């Protein structure tokens, strides 16, 4: 006959302990996520941040066959003024070959070659309003931008592209939209004719999440203890 | 017995899982958790080197949580019992749910995902090598966290169970885990050596692929350090047919024909089965030409490319040969191999590409790559068997009554086509088609057009990652959950998932 287990080692108690510890862990992780400190650094560019208003001027293209006009009432407007990336992507046909003005943050890498550089210029909320999400703690959706070709003299004016912990140079580009740019193997691009820096690149301060650090150290200590226990148990088997 | 009630008769074949069954399944899930914890140490080191302190602590929390779960399982559930077939299937299906839950922790803590569900979505997408993403402000994501996204492709592509087999040289019976993970091609008789061969192949391709991408990236204008970062990440996403990319425009970011050419080669290499890599490794190039999967893949690939190019031409979306090749052919190869890299903005599929070209992309995604590769979808072997069976039936109809029509096909050896293989293939094909359709219906329910919903649903189920722009952080939770389930089902090719569902039902209704 097997001996009866002591109460504190019964299956129900062990399950309850496991559920309790899991709940504590989940709440701790949730707590450090929700209490993460954010920077109050101001990245807003007042004269450039109202992108949403620009989008109202463009309707989304419907799928069409070549014989059908994309937008019958486009009236061949020669100059759209300032455009947003979402408007251009929604309906590249009406912007094709047209001069436009575009404002956004240079992000990622400056791909310098062939007398100029390809840069990704985002005009989303992170670029013109909130700054990098990791710093501000504000989530405003996914990134949105255009590929821009800058000739060499303009590239020289750039100081830093945006990335982790950085809001890159914010630039205003005047240029021409290419729906199928032969220089990019058929990509949708903006070829700059002129460029000016609207805001210099700057570091986005990210406050240290102390609670998360303490939790990490606590959990690593538990792992170390469990490794020792596991070795001892394995040796006893 | 006649005295049994109908409910009783229905449950007669279900045996309620015992405590020992839970112990065995839990133990192996625990091993997977330890493996995933160790996996997170790699980006943790990068975070410490780069001084990304919040990312470092987020990764430490994720790694430690995974290892705590795994170590507790090892201490409390240790057993020397052998895994049975059903244990293997249930373990794999459950591990593919628990694994993404743990990997989602550092994602969520990074502050770039709107909710834990979004982080879980991307972790599932990464491990299943789907490539659909809900990350926000990717272009400012810390380097270490971006690296973790791509590492999930590498680990998931080879198989998280394979990782465990390789790292812990597990005990007998682990072959069921290998098969349960959607692989049926044991390359060499020993399962551990098979797992190690898979990592040997991946390692060799990693050296070659990363070097080539590093060189072409430098030529494209990246500085050497950044070129290496992009190269290693792109390699993992391309060879493992994943589809994540370090920056938001995917491969279009680089504006480089050289990088696109290298990526096409890596995507095709990734969609070949590891058995095929083994044959090529041994110098048996004839197998590549004669194999039913290679032939099926070549035919469907060519047809979908032609269809896409005709569609692009008809819609007037492209001018000239180069755009057709760099945008049209690349996209179809990306879809057919199950990778999901984009060279055009997602919205352009609906605003610019007309109807025929996106339809070709959907067909390519649905068909997928080779079995026992990192690709998803129906798989070329099933397409090939279904085609062979159809041709055999047509020949039978035309032949004299007394004639016996026999069809054969070649994998690594010549085999006679039998009805059992055809039935098994057709069952999976029907399940895939049904899942594509079901996901599309859910998309329509939430107000999206049917064609775009079908595109997205197929992309999720076939673990591809291309999107028409439907998928976004502000999607309703049930729609995200639908895509998560589709990615999970598609990666496991249904059978392990069904075993897990059966396990749960047996728990509730089975007999002792």
Residue B382: which of B467, B297, B499, B283 has the closest Cα? B297
pLDDT tens digits, residue range A158-191?
Answer: 999 999 989 999 999 999 999 999 999 999 999 9
Reduced to 3 states (helix: H, G, I; strand: E, B; else coil), residue B491 is helix
pLDDT at B163 over 80: no
The model's confidence at residue A56, banded by pLDDT at 50, 70 and 90, is very low
Neighbouring residues of A129: CB distance < 8 A, sequence distance ≥ 6: A43, A44, A45, A49, A140
Sort out which chain B residues have CB atoms less than 8 A from A134's CB and list them: 54, 110-112, 137, 140-142
> Region B350-374: what's the mean pLDDT?
91
Higher pLDDT, residue B62 or A2: B62
Q: What is the pLDDT at residue A111?
A: 97
Of A8-12, A105-109, B5-9, which gets the smallest average pLDDT? B5-9
| pLDDT (mean) for B44-70 | 97
pLDDT interval class at A71 (50, 70, 90): very low
pLDDT-based confidence at residue B186 (cuts at 50, 70, 90): low
The rounded mean pLDDT for chain B is: 90
Mean pLDDT of B350-354: 85
Tell me the shortest Cα–Cα distance from A196 to chain B, in angstroms.
22
Q: What's residue B94's pLDDT?
A: 93
Which chain A residues are closer than 8 Å to B350 by Cβ? Answer: 63
**B165 neighbors B174 (Cβ within 8 angstroms):** yes
Name every chain A residue with its beta carbon within 8 A of the beta carbon of B223: 109
C-alpha separations of A204 from A119, A135, A193, B106 in Å: 20, 6, 30, 21
| Mean pLDDT lowest among A15-19, A213-217, B243-247, B419-423 | A15-19
**Confidence (pLDDT) at B462:** 96
Alpha-carbon span B235 to B263, nearest angstrom: 8
Candidates A143, A186, A206; nearest CB to B323? A186
Is 60 exceeded by the pLDDT of residue A16? yes
Average pLDDT over residues B27-32: 91
Question: If you average pLDDT over residues A204-212, what whole number do you get?
Answer: 94
**Of B142, B109, B143, nearest to B123 (Cα)?**
B109
pLDDT at B182: 59
Lowest mean pLDDT among A200-209, B184-193, B332-341, B353-362: B184-193
Sign of the CA dihedral with B241 first, then B244, B246, and B250 last: positive
| CA A138 to each of CA A74, A129, B115: distance values in angstroms, whole numbers, following the listed order | 37, 10, 13
For residues B455 and B357, give the distance between their C-alpha atoms in angstroms, rounded to a whole number: 12
The verdict on B356 touching A (C-beta cutoff 8 Å) is no
Q: Where are the domains of chain B?
A: 1-184+478-512
Task: Quote the minimal CA–CA distance from B456 to chain A in Å.
Answer: 17
Question: How far apart are alpha carbons B212 and A115 in whole angstroms?
Answer: 24
Of A122, A143, A208, the CB nearest to B53: A208
pLDDT score of A69 more than 50: no
**B485: pLDDT strictly greater than 70:** yes
- Please tell me if residue B320 touches chain A, with a CB cutoff of 8 Å: yes
A66 falls in which pLDDT band (50, 70, 90)?
Answer: very low
| A222 or B511: which leads in pLDDT | A222
Residue that wins the pLDDT comparison between B512 and B468:
B468
Q: Which of A219, A222, A237 to probe by mutation at the B interface, max B CB count within 10 Å?
A: A219
Q: What is the rounded average pLDDT of the residues B138-163?
A: 90
pLDDT of A208 over the 70 cut: yes
pLDDT at position A70 is: 42
B56 vs B45: CA distance, rounded Å: 8
Nearest CA in chain B to A134: B111
Q: Looking at the predicted structure, is the pLDDT value of residue A51 above 70?
A: no
pLDDT band with cut points at 50, 70 and 90 for residue B176? low
Question: Using CA atoms, how far apart are residues B381 and B425, in angstroms rounded to an integer?
Answer: 8
Q: Across the A/B interface, how many CB contacts are shorter than 8 Å?
A: 225
**CA-CA distance, A123 to A192, in Å (whole number)?**
16
Nearest-by-Cβ selection for B136 from A139, A167, A182: A139
β-partners of residue A189 are A147, A178
pLDDT, residue B7, reads 47
B352 Cβ under 8 Å from any chain A Cβ: yes
State residue B174's pLDDT score.
63
Lowest-confidence segment of A135-144, B42-51, B156-165, B230-239 by average pLDDT: B156-165
State mean pLDDT over B321-325. 88
Q: Residue A133 is nearest to which of B61, B111, B316, comparing CB atoms?
A: B111
Contacts of residue A112 in chain B, CB cutoff 8 Å?
A: 221
Q: Which residue of B lies nearest to A93 if distances are taken between CA atoms?
A: B352
For chain B, what percent of residues have pLDDT higher than 90?
A: 64
- The confidence score (pLDDT) of residue A8 equals 63
Share of chain A above pLDDT 70, in %: 82
Q: Which of A111, A124, A179 sits opposite B221 (nearest CB)?
A: A111
Confidence of residue A3 (pLDDT cuts 50, 70, 90): low
Tell me which chain A residues have a C-beta less than 8 angstroms from the C-beta of B40: none
Closest residue in chain B to residue A214, using alpha carbons only: B57
Inter-chain CB proximity A185 and B72 less than 8 Å: no
- Residue B11: pLDDT band (50, 70, 90) is very low
Residue of chain A whose alpha carbon sits nearest to that of B252: A187
Alpha-carbon distance of A80 to A83, in angstroms, equals 7
Subunit contact B257:A185, Cβ cutoff 8 A: yes
Q: Residue B4 has what pLDDT?
A: 47
- For chain A, the domains span 51-203
For residue range B431-456, what is the model confidence (pLDDT) as tens digits? 999 999 999 999 999 999 999 999 99
Put simply, whether B215 touches A (Cβ < 8 Å) is no
Cα-flanking dihedrals φ and ψ of residue A104, to 5°? -175, 180
**pLDDT beyond 90 at A115:** yes
Mean pLDDT, range B137-162, rounded to an integer: 91
What is the average per-residue pLDDT within B398-424?
88
* Per-residue model confidence (pLDDT) at position B17: 81
Mean pLDDT value across residues B71-79: 90
Whether pLDDT at B197 is above 80: yes
Q: CB-CB: which of A61, A141, A209 is closest to B57?
A: A209
pLDDT band at A65; cut points 50, 70, 90 = very low
Is the predicted pLDDT of residue A147 greater than 70, yes or no? Answer: yes
| CB-based contact B354 A230, cutoff 8 Å | no
CATH topology classification for A51-203:
OB fold (Dihydrolipoamide Acetyltransferase, E2P) (2.40.50)
Residue of B145, B255, B310, B313 to mutate for A, most A C-beta atoms under 10 A? B255
- Tell me: pLDDT of B166 over 90: no
Q: Of A112, A142, A180, which is closest to B319 when you measure between CB atoms?
A: A180
Inform me whether the C-beta atom of residue B136 falls under 8 Å from chain A C-beta atoms: yes
Residues of chain A with Cβ-Cβ distance to B314 below 8 Å are 65-66
Residues in chain B: 512
Q: Which residue of B has its CA nearest to A188?
A: B344
Backbone φ and ψ for A103, nearest 5 degrees, come out as -120, 130
Query: What is the rounded CA–CA span in Å between residue A208 and residue A167?
Result: 18
According to the model, what pLDDT value does residue B180 have?
A: 63
The three-class DSSP label of residue B472 is: coil
Q: Taking 70 as the threshold, does the pLDDT of residue B393 lie above it?
A: yes
Q: Is the pLDDT of residue B10 over 60?
A: no
What are B226-262's pLDDT values in tens digits?
999 999 999 999 999 999 999 999 999 999 999 999 9
Among chain A residues, the shortest Cα distance to B324 is held by A186
Instruction: Provide the chain B residues 26-85 that lie in CB contact (below 8 A) with chain A.
Output: 52-54, 56-58, 60-61, 64-65, 67-68, 71-72, 74-75, 78
Q: What is the DSSP string of chain A?
A: -PPPPPGGGSHHHHHHHHHHHHHHHHHHHHHHHHT----------TTT--HHHHHTT-PPPPP--TTS-S-TT-TT-S---B--HHHHHH-HHHHTT-EEEEEEEEEEEEEEETTEEEEEEE-SHIIIII--HHHH-----S--EEEEEEEHHHHTT----BBTTEE--EEEEEEEEEEEEGGGTSEEEEEEEEEEEEE--EE------HHHHHHHHHHHHHHHHHHHHHHHHHHH-
pLDDT at A106 over 50: yes
Q: Is residue A197 classed exposed, middle or buried when 0-12, 13-18 and 19+ CB atoms within 10 A define those classes?
A: middle
pLDDT score, position A67: 44
Count CA atoms within 13 Å of residue B433 on its CB side. Answer: 9
User: Phi-psi bin for B465: left (phi > 0), alpha (psi -120 to 50), beta?
Assistant: left
């Amino acid at each position: 006959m097997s001996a009866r287990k002591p109460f504190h080692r019964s299956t129900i108690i062990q399950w309850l302990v496991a559920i309790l510890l899991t709940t504590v862990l989940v709440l701790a992780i949730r707590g450090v996520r929700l209490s993460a400190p954010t920077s109050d650094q101001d990245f807003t560019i007042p004269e450039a941040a109202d992108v949403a208003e620009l989008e109202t001027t463009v309707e989304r293209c419907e799928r069409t066959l070549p014989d059908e006009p994309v937008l019958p009432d486009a009236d061949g407007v020669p100059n759209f003024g300032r455009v947003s990336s979402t408007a251009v992507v929604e309906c590249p046909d009406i912007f094709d070959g047209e001069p436009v003005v575009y404002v956004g943050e240079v992000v990622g890498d400056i791909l310098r070659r062939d007398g100029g550089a390809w840069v990704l210029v985002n005009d989303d909320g992170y670029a013109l309003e909130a700054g990098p999400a990791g710093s501000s703690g504000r989530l405003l959706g996914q990134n949105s931008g255009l590929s821009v070709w800058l000739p060499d003299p303009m590239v020289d004016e750039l100081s830093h592209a945006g990335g982790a912990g950085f809001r890159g140079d914010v630039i205003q580009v005047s240029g021409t939209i290419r729906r199928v740019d032969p220089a990019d193997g058929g990509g949708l691009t903006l070829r700059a004719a002129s460029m000016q820096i609207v805001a210099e690149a700057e570091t986005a301060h990210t406050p240290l999440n102390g609670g998360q650090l303490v939790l990490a150290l606590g959990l690593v200590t538990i792992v170390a203890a469990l490794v020792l226990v596991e070795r001892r148990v394995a040796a006893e088997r | 017995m006649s005295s049994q009630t109908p409910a009783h008769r229905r449950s007669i074949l279900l045996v309620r899982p015992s405590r020992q069954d839970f112990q065995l399944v839990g133990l192996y899930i625990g091993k997977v958790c330890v493996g995933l914890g160790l996996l997170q140490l790699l980006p943790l080191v990068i975070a410490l080197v780069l001084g990304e302190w919040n990312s470092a602590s987020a990764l430490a929390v994720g790694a430690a949580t995974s290892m705590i779960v795994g170590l507790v399982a090892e201490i409390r559930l240790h057993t020397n019992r052998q895994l049975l077939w059903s244990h293997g299937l249930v373990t794999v299906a459950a591990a593919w749910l628990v694994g993404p839950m743990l990997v989602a922790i550092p994602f969520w803590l990074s502050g770039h995902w709107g909710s834990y569900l979004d982080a879980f979505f991307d972790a599932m997408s990464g491990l299943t090598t789907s490539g659909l993403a809900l990350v926000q402000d990717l272009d400012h994501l810390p380097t270490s966290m971006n690296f973790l996204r791509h590492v999930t492709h590498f680990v998931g592509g080879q198989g998280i169970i394979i990782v465990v087999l390789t790292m812990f040289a597990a005990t007998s019976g682990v072959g069921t885990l290998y098969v349960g993970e959607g692989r049926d091609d044991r390359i060499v008789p020993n399962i551990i050596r098979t797992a190690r061969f898979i990592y040997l192949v991946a390692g060799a391709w990693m050296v070659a692929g990363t070097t080539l991408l590093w060189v072409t990236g430098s030529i494209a204008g990246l500085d050497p350090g950044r070129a290496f970062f992009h190269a290693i990440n792109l390699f993992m996403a391309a060879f493992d047919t994943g589809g994540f990319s370090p920056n938001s425009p995917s491969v279009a970011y680089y504006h480089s024909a050289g990088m696109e050419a290298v990526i096409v080669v890596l995507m095709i290499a990734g969609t070949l089965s590891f058995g095929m890599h083994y044959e090529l490794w041994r110098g048996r190039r004839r197998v590549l030409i004669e194999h039913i999967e290679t032939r099926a893949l070549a035919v469907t690939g060519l047809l979908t490319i032609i269809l896409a190019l005709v569609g692009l031409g008809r819609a007037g979306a492209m001018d000239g040969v180069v755009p057709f090749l760099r945008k049209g052919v690349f996209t179809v190869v990306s879809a057919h191999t199950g990778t999901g890299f984009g060279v055009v903005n997602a919205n352009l599929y609906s605003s610019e590409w007309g109807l025929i070209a996106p339809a070709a992309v959907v067909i390519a995604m649905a068909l997928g790559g080779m079995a026992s590769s990192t690709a998803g979808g129906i798989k070329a072997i099933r397409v090939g068997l279904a085609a062979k069976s159809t041709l055999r039936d047509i020949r039978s109809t035309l032949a004299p009554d007394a004639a016996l029509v026999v069809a054969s096909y070649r994998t690594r050896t010549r085999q006679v086509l039998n009805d059992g293989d055809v039935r098994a293939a057709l069952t999976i094909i029907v399940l895939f088609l049904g899942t594509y359709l079901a996901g599309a219906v859910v998309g329509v329910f939430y107000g999206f057009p049917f064609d775009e919903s079908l595109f997205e649903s197929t992309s999720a189920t076939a673990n591809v990652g291309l999107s028409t722009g439907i998928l976004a952080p502000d999607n309703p939770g049930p729609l995200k959950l639908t895509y998560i389930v589709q990615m999970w089902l598609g990666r496991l090719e249904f059978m392990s998932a069904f075993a897990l569902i059966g396990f749960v039902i047996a728990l509730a209704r089975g007999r002792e």
